Amino acid sequence: LQADVERVVFASTAAVYGNPEQLPLAETAPTVPLNPYGQSKLEGEVELATICREGETDFAIARFANVYGPRQDTVGEGGVVSMFCEGLTRGQDLTIHGDGTQTRDFIYVGDVVSALVSMIGGDIWFCQEADVPAAGIYNVATGAATSINDLAIRLQRISGQSVEIKHDAEREGDIRDSVLSPKKAREIFEWKATSELEHSLTNTYRWFSRQG
């Protein structure tokens, strides 16, 4: 605010929702994060909205679905796509926690960038209206569900590796299904994800395969 900026964009996450009551998740859905990462992002959202409204600064909170793409880290919060890609480049078997029917909304990093550009240069967001539900909050997602089993099969086919797909115990705290509605961002910013899953997964795997 001291820098006299007109707009602030905050990168948040689908993890703020926790276990969904219904799908796809709209921005007005309850927020009950199940892990410290989701909780910290939710606290950041609240703090940002409070400060920006007090200073009459426009803002947007972008809740990302499961982002994937080249250069993604596999350590810590690294996504399943990057972990599968790295394993396949080494000829390792793929391990899925649970039965693999759990679903995620996978969004390519290029679509995330285009969403952020749209938010930064968009028209009035009306996020100052504190009484409007989920004012200033936008899902950045595809709205499409992909199972972890399907993801593993696709990447195995893309890689050409004849590795085994194994199943391990479910991880405590993992969300069963997570799909976000991108409707609000489409209506306000005229934005939508355009990357096709198979093509984007291929680009991602090829990047990992070139890393040696």
Distance CA 100, CA 152 (A): 9
CB 143 within 8 A of CB 105: yes
Residue appearing with tokens 């569900």? 145
Catalytically annotated residues? 37
CB 65 within 8 A of CB 107: yes
CA-angle at 90, arms to 205 and 151, nearest 5°: 45
Distance CA 171, CA 175 (A): 9
Cis amide bond preceding 133, omega within 30: no
A 10 A CB-CB count for 63 gives 26
Structure token pair of residue 15: 């993890």
